[in-house]
Amino acid sequence: MEILSFLVSFGTLYSIYLILASSMELEYGELGLPSFAKAAFLALGAFTVGALSVRVGALILGLALEGEFKLTSYFYATLITRQIASHPLLGLVIFALPFAVAVPLAALLGAAVTYPALRLREDYLAITLIAFSEIVRVLARNYEPLVGGTFGAGVVNPFAWLGSPWRELVLFLVSLAMGFGIWLLTFKISTSPLGRILRAIRDDEIAAKAYGLDVAKVRAWVLAVGSAMAAVAGVLYAFYMGAVNPDDFTVSRTFIVVLMVVLGGRGNPYSPLVGAGIYLLIDRAMIFVKHLLPIPFDVNYASYVILGALLIVLLIKRPGGLVPERPLLTVKEIVNISERGDETLLFHKRE
């Protein structure tokens, strides 16, 4: 049973990371945009749950919330969860509502972010996104009514009408469905003509513009979609954790997502599957090791040092990741092909 529970937990987390990696693959792997505010959009989804699950639950049940949110959210979360055990519909509403709120909001915000992107060089854009991400975190930390500041917010369990372990299983299945669905969407985009447009902009923006591509519009669209995906992941993450804490959404999270994409291979639509999996395995392995070795410092720190070094090595040695992008036809090949008289392949080159 323990192994099952571990697998279910691992599977849910994998699905969440799959969504994040897919969104980053679209933005960074395909379009070449350093989407460094990823943690902020993840947070957006999670904060929506943190802010709303207890309040909406209380509203529907007619409960009056007394006391400061930061001090009582966990208490009320438990209370409402118990109510859900006999009111499954309430649970479903609480589950679905954050998606309806966070996803459109994230999409709008993501598209809005492209405006500074127009004016800024990529490095200044990156620092602005990072700063934005940190500001979101700091705001959430300080504005206590949102998600309880440093205390964090309790989250209602929407599947409490099922006994454990079924609740975790249902969350896992839902996450898996969403994760795979979103990855499939990314795959479809990547292998479609739109994908070629994204990569064209990534490889040579000026040439893309010369061919009449509206780069700004494409960027806005991609960032909107990517941010919406991140918000979905955030909602699932909040329900998975059962609580929301602002300090869980630092730039380190963004870094991990970038690492996943580089691990899996930028520009390759399978990379989210591979990258998310490998990262999670490394992560679980390090947690396992932590219990074995007595070290005089927090093992999380060591894991970031190792992961950082890993990313650097990957960028230098295997920039294509473990599953590299399909290479373009080169001039030499085309010359050979045309000499062979194979017209169809020549046409293929022209896209």
Partner 1 sequence: MLDVIIGAVVYSNFLALLSIGLCLTILTSRVSSFAHGDLAMVGVYTAYTLSAALGLSPYLCLPAAFAVGGFVALLSFALVFEPLRRAGAGPVTLMVASLALDMVIRYSLHIYADLLQRTFNVYGRDFMFNDARLLVGGVSIPGALIGSSLTASVLLVMLYLLLYRTKLGVAMRATIENQQLAMVLGINVRRVFAISWFISGALAATAGVFLPFRLLVNPDTGWSMLLSMFASVIVGGVGSLLGSVLGAYLIGSSELLFSYLLASLGISTAYRPLVVFAAIVATLMLSPRGLSILWSNGVKGSWRS
Least Å distance, CB 76 to partner 1, is: 26
User: Which one, 132 or 270, has the nearer CB to partner 1?
Assistant: 132
Q: Are 274 and 263 in contact (CB under 8 A)?
A: yes
Least Å distance, CB 310 to partner 1, is: 8
How is 96-164 classified by DSSP, letter by letter? HHHHHHHHHHHHHHHHHHHHHHHHS-HHHHHHHHHHHHHHHHHHHHH-HHHH-GGG-EE---TTTTS-T
User: Which one, 104 or 116, has the nearer CB to partner 1?
Assistant: 116
Q: CA–CA separation, 178 vs 184, rounded Å? A: 10
Q: CA–CA separation, 272 vs 278, rounded Å? A: 10
Instruction: Identify any residues that bridge with 244 across adjacent strands, giving them in sequence order.
Output: 153
Q: Are 188 and 67 in contact (CB under 8 A)?
A: no
How is 315-341 classified by DSSP, letter by letter? HHH-TT-SSPPPPPPPHHHHHHHHHHT
Least Å distance, CB 276 to partner 1, is: 18
Token pair 């980053």 is at which residue? Answer: 24
User: Which one, 108 or 312, has the nearer CB to partner 1?
Assistant: 312
Contacting residues for 249 by C-beta, under 8 A, at least 6 apart: 39, 40, 42, 43, 46, 133, 136, 137, 140
Least Å distance, CB 127 to partner 1, is: 5
User: Which one, 83 or 219, has the nearer CB to partner 1?
Assistant: 219
Q: Are 271 and 21 in contact (CB under 8 A)?
A: yes
Token pair 């090949």 is at which residue? Answer: 333
Least Å distance, CB 235 to partner 1, is: 26
Residues binding partner 1 (CB under 8 A): 28, 32, 34, 36, 116, 119-124, 126-128, 130-131, 134-135, 138-139, 141-142, 251-252, 255, 258-259, 262, 296-298, 301-302, 304-305, 307-309, 311-312, 315-316, 319
User: Which one, 72 or 128, has the nearer CB to partner 1?
Assistant: 128
User: Which one, 12 or 133, has the nearer CB to partner 1?
Assistant: 133
User: Which one, 64 or 316, has the nearer CB to partner 1?
Assistant: 316
Least Å distance, CB 68 to partner 1, is: 16
Least Å distance, CB 298 to partner 1, is: 6
The amino acid occupying position 36 is F
Q: CA–CA separation, 84 vs 72, rounded Å? A: 18
